[in-house]
Amino acid sequence: MDIALPVLGGLGLFLYGMNIMGTGLEKASGEKLKRLIEILTSNRLMGVLVGTVVTLIMQSSSATTIMVVGFVNAGLMNLSQAMGVIMGANIGTTVTAQLIAFDLADIAPLAVAIGVGIWLITSKKRLKSLAEVLIGFGVLFIGMDMMSGGLKPLANNPVFSNMIASLNNPLLGILVGFGLTTLIQSSSASIGLLQALASLGLVDIRIAFPILFGDNIGTTTTALISSVGANKTAKRAAIMHFLFNLIGTILFVTLLRIPIQSIVLKISPYDIKRQIANAHTLFNVINTIILFPFANLIIKAAEKMIPGKDVREEEEELIYLDTRIMETPSIALGQVVKEIFRMANLVENNVKTAYLAFANKDERLIQEVFEKEKTINKLETAIIQYLVDLSNKPLTEKQHIQVNALINSINDIERVGDHADNIGELTQVAIENNLPFSETAMKELENIFNKTYDAFKLASESLHEVNYEKAKETLKLEEEVDRLEEKYRTNHIDRLNRMQCTPHSGVIYLDFLSNLERISDHSSNIALYVLDDLKENR
């Protein structure tokens, strides 16, 4: 227990510190991380650079690859782009090992103290995020020091020394590295443990190299597990990560281990922790350089392993959202806006269909409106649940405001769908009772419908684009709809007094007007969210 507790406790602190540091970096980068992903094009080299930087921020290649699986599943990224990011993630994750190779345990408590001091004193979000980076940095090295201290008694244990020496067998070393990384779900942590053993003289570079290879294969299991339940393309992305690291391991075990080992010993002949860090970096950089030209072959191999095409998504299923993307809230929020805009388009079409059903007395279109309304309700529930889950992630104050604005917008969009459903029901009553409507009444309804439809369309676009001009135009249209509703209501009462329409038709007409006016009100609400709540988040 004297060995197990400090080692496990140190490992826990190491992982916790890495997580805090990554979260702080991600908060501090905020929208910059979103823009990094957005600059991704079919240029795979750019993908490598982005993958490297994103992993530096996330402090985990597994987290980056899980994110990639989510992006592919949500249609945000294709396999060619994903391949580049995966390669870059492997390079980015080596920085943690390089950082650990510095002997910074003595200043770690100071880093935590300064970080906590800043966090308690400041009210600025950005400074708090930077304070978290300092706290995470300090906790990481405190954990590393605790692990090393816990392992010290093993340095003089001949049984343990012989067991470590047996890992000189490459196959056994790879299996140990693979198993350890799969177990703790972090290649950085398993390499940190390896460096702790090395600092006590228990491991040399010959033993460390095969374990490093196993670590690199083991880190792919996180994404493979994450891809369960994703679409076929996302599964291929996870397979690509596995193939990339597996092929690299085979190349190094059979051809490159000895020359690279010689280079590592020349660069840092007396520092075993630095040798392990350099070996890890060289493995991933050289592997990327060698396999970069063959990326398309890896993609094809993944497609062969996961054959077939994805089944077309049903309308009520989420297309742009994936829980894996929540690890980067700024990107997840952008995807939510896309999903809401898709839902708004369904509502927009349903409003138009409801009007056409009334204008043409088409019962088939009425049923289409009713069916589409069920889809809209399912989408609303799914998107709001996603936003609720997202709100429990480490969001900035601005992001919390945006989440609230989006929830309110979804509610207004769904209510517009309800009014389309109401119009469908009014149409059904009109058809069943063969109710007549004057030519004047039909022209009035057409005119106010067009204004209402344009208002909702502009409101949806303003939300999607965060377009203030379209939001302002929506408010103007809403005022015009209010004036028309009042005018046409007065006209209708006049027609009733002159016996130009039946009371039953009149009731339907007034309800129709009321539903259109309410649609314009909800459109106005959406525009106000854009102008008031989303303005500061642009």
Helix (H), strand (E), coil (C) string for 354-376: HHHHHHHCCHHHHHHHHHHHHHH
**Mind giving me the DSSP string for 83-135?**
HHHHHHHHHHTHHHHHHHTS--TTTHHHHHHHHHHHHHH---HHHHHHHHHHH
Tens of pLDDT, residues 86-133 = 999 899 888 888 888 887 878 889 999 999 999 889 888 778 888 888
| 137 part of a folded domain | yes
The whole-angstrom separation of Cα 233 and Cα 313 is 13
Tens of pLDDT, residues 243-272 = 999 999 999 988 898 899 899 999 988 889
What is the pLDDT averaged over residues 340-345?
93
450 & 328 share domain = yes
Tens of pLDDT, residues 129-181 = 888 888 988 888 888 888 878 777 766 677 666 777 677 788 888 998 899 88
Closest CA to 336 of 284, 227, 413: 413
pLDDT on residue 395: 80
Instruction: Show the domain range for 62.
Output: 4-305
**Based on the structure, what is the number of domains in the chain?**
2
Q: How far is CA 153 from CA 9, 148, 198, 199, 202, in A?
A: 16, 10, 14, 13, 11
132 & 86 share domain = yes
What is the pLDDT averaged over residues 206-221?
89
Q: What are the contacts of 42-45 at 24+ separation with CB within 8 A?
A: 42/78, 42/80, 42/81, 43/84, 44/80, 44/81, 44/83, 44/84, 44/292, 44/295, 45/84, 45/292
pLDDT on residue 389: 92
| 314 part of a folded domain | no
| 381 part of a folded domain | yes
466 & 426 share domain = yes
| 285 part of a folded domain | yes
Model confidence at 400: pLDDT above 80? yes
Q: Is the dihedral of CA 260, 86, 66, 396 positive or negative?
A: positive
The whole-angstrom separation of Cα 64 and Cα 279 is 22
| 316 part of a folded domain | no
pLDDT on residue 20: 83
Whichever domain contains 486, its CATH number is 1.20.58.220
The whole-angstrom separation of Cα 208 and Cα 252 is 13
Model confidence at 456: pLDDT above 80? yes
355 & 405 share domain = yes
Boundary residue ending a domain (245, 273, 305)? 305
269 & 415 share domain = no
In percent, the amount of the chain with pLDDT more than 90 equals: 36
Model confidence at 537: pLDDT above 80? no
pLDDT on residue 4: 73
Model confidence at 38: pLDDT above 90? no
The whole-angstrom separation of Cα 54 and Cα 37 is 9
265 & 379 share domain = no
pLDDT on residue 30: 59
299 & 348 share domain = no
Model confidence at 41: pLDDT above 70? no
pLDDT on residue 130: 86
57 & 89 share domain = yes
pLDDT on residue 257: 87
Q: How confident is the model at residue 364 (pLDDT cuts 50, 70, 90)?
A: very high
Q: How confident is the model at residue 2 (pLDDT cuts 50, 70, 90)?
A: low
| 310 part of a folded domain | no
Please give the structure tokens belonging to residue 475.
Answer: 């408010």
66 & 214 share domain = yes
pLDDT on residue 533: 65
pLDDT on residue 538: 46
Of 160-169, 191-200, 235-244, the least confident? 160-169
Cβ–Cβ under 8 Å, residues 89 and 261: no
The whole-angstrom separation of Cα 292 and Cα 209 is 22
Mean confidence (pLDDT) of the chain: 85
Boundary residue ending a domain (277, 305, 333)? 305
Boundary residue ending a domain (259, 277, 305)? 305
Query: Within a 13 Å sphere around the CA of 227, how many CA atoms are in the beta-carbon half?
Result: 24
In the chain, the amino acid numbered 233 is T
284 & 334 share domain = no
pLDDT on residue 155: 62
Q: How confident is the model at residue 283 (pLDDT cuts 50, 70, 90)?
A: very high
| 344 part of a folded domain | yes
| 312 part of a folded domain | no
176 & 223 share domain = yes
Please give the structure tokens belonging to residue 18.
Answer: 């890495």
Model confidence at 475: pLDDT above 90? yes
Model confidence at 223: pLDDT above 60? yes
| DSSP character at residue 252 | I
Judged by phi (left if over 0) then psi (alpha if -120 to 50, else beta), residue 75 lies in left
190 & 271 share domain = yes
Closest CA to 398 of 308, 296, 466: 466
The whole-angstrom separation of Cα 473 and Cα 444 is 22
Q: How confident is the model at residue 314 (pLDDT cuts 50, 70, 90)?
A: low
In percent, the amount of the chain with pLDDT more than 70 equals: 92
Model confidence at 421: pLDDT above 90? yes
Q: For the stretch 455-494, what's the b/e string if a residue is b when 16 or more beta carbons lie within 10 angstroms of its beta carbon?
A: bbbbbbbbbbebbeebbebbbebbebbeebbeebbeebee
Query: Within a 13 Å sphere around the CA of 333, how many CA atoms are in the beta-carbon half?
Result: 29
Model confidence at 43: pLDDT above 80? no
Tens of pLDDT, residues 293-309 = 999 999 999 989 988 76
